[in-house]
A and B are shown apart, each in its own frame.
Chain A
């Protein structure tokens, strides 16, 4: 557990985390809570049945300003962005010339600017990439003094509406600017748990007070990175660096839906990085695909575990694996060669010197409950 002498960044909620008994771990250059006193299982279950509050201030928030910001950004992604309505949000990926994923991002039309939420470990890379690609046409800056909170779960809307009633009118992937007691917040109805919920961006110096306000409601508990990971895995959502990276294309990752709506018009003048490769994969398929997996014994199988066919040939690998508190059994995701993607397919998995059975299943493991 040595972190060397690297100076870790702290988020504005650092004192609150410590006060709540957080176990802090290094993550993407930040010191962040992996869990609080209640533990990951309790935080996970509480988020599924009531609401969890996550400090995700380590994530990058990037502002792109300029009349052509959306259409310029559209040239870097497989999906359509230019027609994104005011205060609508879209999930997409930045692709490299090989069709691989530079990062998966949320894009919001925020009125006078476009706002991106990018992964913490990718934020400097993405900022440099955007400045390089779009810097001559748009102004691009990291919102370095804005915190990001995620309030997730079926009771999230009731909790937040106590202070900001207008959030009730937001639907999944819509957003707005709100003012509460002089605090300006940009709030979207979105998240990374599969539950209804919100992501709230606000100035660093207001973040702790606002978090404490939300925690006054009995229905809300603080939840750490551990629960965030098990919740997103149950929801079948990708974690950048594990399930997707610069060597996986969105087609291989099963993210067709973010390409499909635009495939027709893109066929005419598609010119985003890797477009030819991605179009070819959409047409003729890919050698491998991301699938859901359920180990058939009680032992969780972790990322990196090789997957075998009946001839003992390696035909895939687990990219995320853990325990599902909702299903009370282990779950995993990974890539398998296209002959083995059919749900119900039984594979072998080799771990700790033993072979386990593992079944291919459809994603997600736990149905999404977004507010459409």
Chain B
């Protein structure tokens, strides 16, 4: 069973049994952004490339990009966030998920940080 992984951009990635990967932002990221008031999600079916802008997040005080953490195709988006972006503040690791990717190469995720490594990374910031 695969475990949750993290990027240095404070995204979390959770692979499911189908091989799709759910992507969201961490509690640290939502805390830093503050109250989120706008989210723009990618289109289902769009191809994304690691490092490109995949979604836009605007908080009361700042704008931020969500960069694609893997190469792949967007297979599902969390439409509920468009009308209720505050879900990301309230439950970033649950109801506040952003989108799911079908990765081109499922092994790519192995190179990302595990939970311990991410906490170490965050505590060094």
Contact = CB atoms under 8 A, between A and B. Distances in A.
B56 A39 contact: no
From B34, B37, B40, B89, name the one whose CB has the most chain A CB atoms within 10 angstroms. B37
Nearest to B56: A352
Interface of A: 34-35, 39-42, 44, 226, 229-230, 298-300, 302, 322-323, 325, 330, 352
A242 B56 CA distance: 24
A259 B10 CA distance: 51
A323 B89 CA distance: 16
B63 A325 contact: no
Given A300-B58, A302-B63, A39 B34 contact: yes
Interface extent on B, as a size class? 10 to 19
A294 to B, nearest CB: 14
B61 A34 contact: yes
Interface string B33-47: 011011010000000
Given A42-B35, A352-B56, 20 more contacts: A39-B35, A40-B35, A40-B60, A40-B61, A41-B60, A44-B60, A226-B60, A226-B61, A230-B60, A298-B38, A299-B38, A299-B56, A299-B58, A300-B37, A300-B58, A302-B63, A323-B60, A330-B37, A330-B38, A352-B53
What's the dominant secondary structure at chain A's contact region? mixed
Contacts of A39: 34-35, 60, 89
Contacts of A40: 34-35, 60-61
Contacts of B34: 35, 39-40, 226
Contacts of A41: 35, 37, 60
A323 B38 contact: yes
Nearest to B85: A298
A41 to B, nearest CB: 4
